[in-house]
Chain A
Amino acid sequence: MEKNKKSAGEYIQEYGAFIALIILIIGISIVSPEFRTGSNFLSLLRQSSINGLIAFGMTGVILTGGIDLSVGSVLALSTALCAGMISTGMPAGLAMLLALVIGAVLGCISGLLVTKGRLQPFIATLITMTVFRGLTMIYTDGKPISNLGDSFVLKLIGKGTIFGVPVPVILLIVIFALFYFLLTQTTFGRKVYATGSNWKCAQLVGVNINKTKLIVYGISGLMASISGLILLSRLNSAQPTLGDGYELDAIASVALGGTSMNGGRGKIQGTLIGVLIIAVLNNGLNILGVSSYYQDVVKGLVILVAVLSDRNR
């Protein structure tokens, strides 16, 4: 009988992306003294939290065999509404809570299009991506919303630190742990994998696959809105174009982490490594003074190499 190679292969796969990350960090550190400072690493992690949270949500969706292109627009719309509420006098804390609810609801709308509407996830979220962006433009009239006052909570989520660690980094770690728990230790996690692996089989053993899908899209929207609040806090204004193209970095991170785009197979740890690779590239190439045009090419090539090596495992 054939030896069970799956788990060994998966280790190599995870290990591979991790090695790539280490090589990148060491490589850039050697060339650039600025890169290898503690404060730069903290800011690198803080920058990665935006993409990281979105990518975690995206991982859940992709594991069920779907995709969520709407995250950037959800981020923009929930953030704009939040800023709007604050600027009309609502307490910032309440507005931020509402923004999270709005994010989850917007995600669920994509989920409903996929489940009840039976649209392909790519098309469904292409629609919501377009519509939500349009709604953001209508609501903001295409102009940024500033005058957000001087709220402590709003400042805290993006700019605050606890024991010297930026709050966004703490959020990244805590939410990563939650995702890890959810995907590996709960029955819901099993249902997510089962839905992506073989939905017919899952349905026949009583898994409500539509509910499972709806929840992962909802979570994806929620994650996008948390990212949006961090951005709002850091920028102190809501730009209508906020989050444009963020879905691509998130999907790239998930792919870098070895999650199958067909669903059913992948790990949240992989996504975290993917997120860090992208963050190191962004940060490192900036410090090295590489023009942003070249940065995109380099990023694309790194993804290519990662995905190819994943295929040859």
Chain B
Amino acid sequence: MNIEMRGINKAFGSNQVLKNAGFLLSDGEVHALMGENGAGKSTLMKILTGVYTRDAGTVIVDGKEVEYHNPQEAEKAGIVFIYQELNVMFDLTVEENLFMGKEITKGFGICDKKAMRKKAQEILDKMGVNIPVGATMSELSVGQQQMIEICKALMVDAKVIIMDEPTAALTQSETEALFEVIQSLRQKGVSMVYISHRMEEIFELCDRITVLRDGSYIGTEEIKDVDMNDIVKMMIGREIGERFPARNVKLGKEVLKVDKLTKNGVFHDVSFSVRAGEVLGVSGLMGSGRTEIMQSIFGNMSIDSGKIYIEGKEVQIKNPSQAIKAGIGFITEDRKTEGLMLEKSIEENVSLANLGKVSRNNTVLSSASEDSLVKKAIEEFHIKCFGPNHECNNLSGGNQQKVVLAKWIYTDPKILILDEPTRGVDIGAKKEIYSVINELAGKGVAVIMVSSELPEVLGMSDRIMVVREGEVRGIVNQDEANQENVMTLATGGTI
């Protein structure tokens, strides 16, 4: 299927999201759509699939001008959008999800379960996924749920599949499985639009790339003609320089020591330490237990045995409140469900972690100190917003993450744990976050950074701890670490 979008404009209120945006998709290609958060990638695709109506411009599909009024019409034409936030019903089974809204019936609305089960199994087999059709969605991993979403797209015989950050929540092996599926779909002539912030994937997977910036079309290139710097330049309009800013910090004394931390069935005998000014990278596949280890240190998950020492003294941490008192800050991997009150303002979010600072005797709020704290946060962290009352829902991912960082950093932690600090964040904001981490380390904070992105871990850490199946497989110094040995440890090998 050939798609041509030209001169697309779209405004929400006074906010011009797209101006003269465009996109060309040809038969059987995987086409990367890139741009910073807020560049208009998702909006452009939502216009194609009829979620939004355009203010101006033309959309031509296979030589005919079209306008879909809703996603169902686009789906009938063979264009399917797999959203970043999965559209699954968690309490229903795989089969029920696959057939939602298009059940096979025996007439009179009575479901033909047998026929549906058979067809569902066919689709799953075709995709080579080994998931029971009767399984409840909530039992599946995020990766498996993603696979089911793709199966849904295949059920309607899609000719174009749009994927928005499909690997954001996938493990390495799930990502590989997804890539295989994408390759086989490409061979069958299905075109794909692939939206992702992960450069490595773009180079591995895509044929061409189109870049949007500030809602406008910047250009389309053959992937073999460009390198990472070219793409970054197209995306942000300037050279970004060194991807990981340099850090020159003298390490201080040991701040955190974890000794044989164990939670039965999740992780066991986890021991490590972090020094003042040090960044300890934590690598491991999703589900390796790395997040659970951090949750336990922070007291949000109970442990069965093991000891935690802060500045040489053993501490008992049974809940987050005690962890905070002990000087630990924790930025969770999921900022939308755990990091922020989305419907609340920047001010309320930043204050909530710092109620002691913005009140007298921790009881009556002082709006003056609250104001100055939040204004300082907006300035220091370059949060793009209309002011302290800006609702966090309306911030881009990068700016939301900056709010989370600000609220924790103002608690003056001695130890800051960051779980996937740059997930879903564009490249410009990523670099700002790296700078913040470096600055913290410079001030003598012990930083623990958990991340699925290997380049990031390698680029930012003094040492890298690799976790696999709830066990520390090794701690590698920065000068010895590379993609290969970290991956080898993470997947069960030895070095």
Contact = CB atoms under 8 A, between A and B. Distances in A.
B9 interface: no
Interface residues of A, number: 28
A35 B373 CA distance: 51
B363 A187 contact: yes
Given A186-B363, A193-B344, A201 B324 contact: no
A150 interface: no
Interface string A156-189: 0000000000000000000000000000011111
Interface stretch (A25-33, A62-70, A204-212, A237-245): A204-212
Contacts of B332: 204
Contact of B386 (A4, A185, A188): A4
B389 interface: yes
Interface string A58-97: 0000000000000000000000000000000000000000
B60 interface: no
Which among A198, A208, A264 has the greatest number of chain B C-beta atoms within 10 A?
A198
Interface in A1-43: 1-4, 6-7
B160 interface: no
A1 B394 contact: yes
A190 interface: yes
Contacts of B340: 198, 201
Contacts of A202: 341, 352
A189 B365 CA distance: 9
Contacts of B324: 205-206
B15 A205 contact: no
B13 A205 contact: no
A190 B391 contact: no
A86 B321 CA distance: 45
A2 B363 contact: no
A205 B320 contact: yes
Given A186-B364, A205-B320, A206-B324, A3 B14 contact: yes
Given A187-B363, A204-B330, A264 B344 contact: yes
A194 B323 CA distance: 19
Given A186-B363, A197-B343, A4 B394 contact: yes
Given A2-B13, A205-B352, A264 B341 contact: yes
Given A1-B384, A187-B362, 20 more contacts: A1-B15, A1-B38, A1-B385, A1-B386, A2-B13, A2-B15, A4-B394, A185-B365, A186-B365, A187-B363, A190-B365, A191-B352, A194-B341, A194-B352, A200-B337, A201-B341, A204-B298, A206-B324, A206-B353, A207-B321
Interface of B: 12-15, 38, 298, 300, 319-321, 323-325, 330, 332, 337-345, 348, 351-353, 355, 359, 362-365, 384-387, 389-391, 394, 407
Interface of A: 1-4, 6-7, 185-191, 193-194, 197-198, 200-208, 264-265
6 contacts: A186-B363, A187-B363, A197-B343, A202-B341, A204-B339, A207-B352
